[in-house]
Amino acid sequence: MKVQDGGPIKTFGWQLAKAVVAAIVVVVYSRSMGAYGRGALSILLLNLQLVLMVSELFAGGALANLLSTYPPKRILPSAWLFLLLVLVLGYVIGWFGYVLPNQGNLPLDFDHPNIINLNLLFFQGLFLGSLGIQYNLYQVNGWIQQRNKLQLTLEVLKLLGIALCFEAMYGFLFPRMDAVELSRQSAIPIPADQTQHYVSGFNETAVLWILVYASGLVCLISLGVILKQRGAAMNAHNNNFAENNNLADNHHLADNNSIWPPKELFTSGFMSQIGHILLFLLYRLPLWWMAAEFGNAEAGVLANALLMADTLWIFGNSFGTILHSRMLRWGPRKAKFGKLLSLYVLFSGLGTLFALVVAWLVPTSVYVWVFGSTFTNLKETFALISPAVLFLGLSAPIGHFLHAQNRFISLIFTYGIALLVLLVGWKAIDQYLFYCTNPQDLMSRIMCYVQSYLGKLMMVNLAFFVLFLCNYLQVRKEIKWEGISLLVRRLLKRTLAK
């Protein structure tokens, strides 16, 4: 069978290119906004991401699986409708939970900064949610490279938006009176953990405008790609997306003419997304905790550490994405996919470990030079969560393997146990420090601060180890290590012979 997805190597190359451009975007954000602004932006986007996760409770997590069985007309309308309903609900919650409590002395009109942020978050959610739905079509049809190109385009458009924003602020190419005056405001007092650009206007609102513009354009481009692929498939296969799973009414369907959503939309989709939400909470709860307990500046540092981790997870995500797509299109071949899984876990683990070692060897001064002086403890924070990065890199291909087999209960169990370990560990640390800390002693309070910071990050590592262990136990009978063991033994034999 001809491979349409380009294979894991090509996908890794695209993911690497996207990661490099995304890293440049993060560096610009960090240097321009400082740790405080970076943390404030991260919390806003984190809340939006949680809303989008809820919007995928019906169908979202299992959308690719369902599209491999049912025609899009029975799946996509419900997915888009539920996305819109959840975004409206999130907007109402944001109004009462974000706008009104932070109204200040400003009148509630369309120029209020919090209302502007809320409106921008709504449209950003609409565009990102639509892209998420569309990407499932790419996944099930094997259009992995087209999706990779769109993801890279999104990051490039963010860079272009940043350039346009600074041009509007400072007028480098087309000077204007207000831009010239703004560029001369060198006497503006700059609070700790902030920057000149942040207090001059490159803040959360400016970045949200950039994100909305970039995601909106990519969403339109993606729709064009899908319509083009659909038209080509209809012409080639007589109005039926038959061969090679092209957007597809090709799936041994009964009642193809029905437009009503199947019951699996609410069962499989719900179960799948519960697992995704649990995983999301597992690796994003620390950011909320950091902001609540230590402030936006420390949250900004942790946000960059987590984004570095996201970059390193391209190994596991690349191999896992290809494995998932092939399992959906090729059907159950347990022996074949067991061997592929073992190979992908090995490559993902080695690649992640190599990237971690490189990150550890980079001097702290380089991180400060790249991200700015407000991120002096970024390397230490990243080093503290490095074990979690490795464990998730090993777990990612297994998670995709289980997801492609619709083993959602297994994933919920695995993610739930890991999240429970994290929460129980945090609670235990809080109880220990509550009884062992003297609030009247300055040194005792300092030690409490350090122990809480270090201890809770160590619990993150333990939770991700539990995640990997549970995932591995789920597939220990299906994963095939024989070929890899033979290869390792031959390499060792040759090495020792020399």
- pLDDT range class, residue 92, cuts 50, 70, 90: very high
The whole-model pTM stands at: 0.76
pLDDT of 75: 78
Residue 337 is encoded by which pair of tokens?
């996919």
For the four alpha carbons of 55, 60, 61 and 62, in that order, the dihedral sign comes to positive
pLDDT of 481: 62
What φ, ψ does residue 112 adopt, rounded to 5°?
-65, 130
Nearest in space to 277 (alpha carbons), one of 470, 130, 467, 57:
57
Angle value at C-alpha 279, between 276 and 282, nearest 5 degrees: 150
Residue 488: CB partners within 8 Å, gap ≥ 6?
A: none
Nearest in space to 402 (alpha carbons), one of 272, 266, 263:
272
Residue 347: CB partners within 8 Å, gap ≥ 6?
A: 8, 315, 319
pLDDT single digits (tens) 433-453: 777 766 666 676 677 777 788
**What's the average model confidence in pLDDT over 54-64?**
71
Separation between Cα atoms, residue 453 and residue 433, nearest integer Å? 11
Query: Regarding predicted confidence, which is higher, 440 or 376?
Result: 376
What φ, ψ does residue 386 adopt, rounded to 5°?
-60, -40
Separation between Cα atoms, residue 232 and residue 159, nearest integer Å? 33
| Cα distances (Å, whole numbers) of residue 302 to 13, 25, 311, 358, 452 | 27, 16, 14, 19, 15
Separation between Cα atoms, residue 157 and residue 290, nearest integer Å? 30
For the four alpha carbons of 98, 100, 106 and 110, in that order, the dihedral sign comes to positive
| Helix %, strand %, coil % of the chain (to 5) | 80, 0, 20
**What's the average model confidence in pLDDT over 258-283?**
76
* H-assigned helices in 95-203: 113-141, 144-170, 177-183, 196-200
Separation between Cα atoms, residue 6 and residue 350, nearest integer Å? 22
pLDDT of 299: 87
What's 255's DSSP letter?
Answer: S
The domain ranges of the chain are 7-494
Percent of the chain scoring above 90 in pLDDT: 22
Query: Regarding predicted confidence, which is higher, 126 or 482?
Result: 126
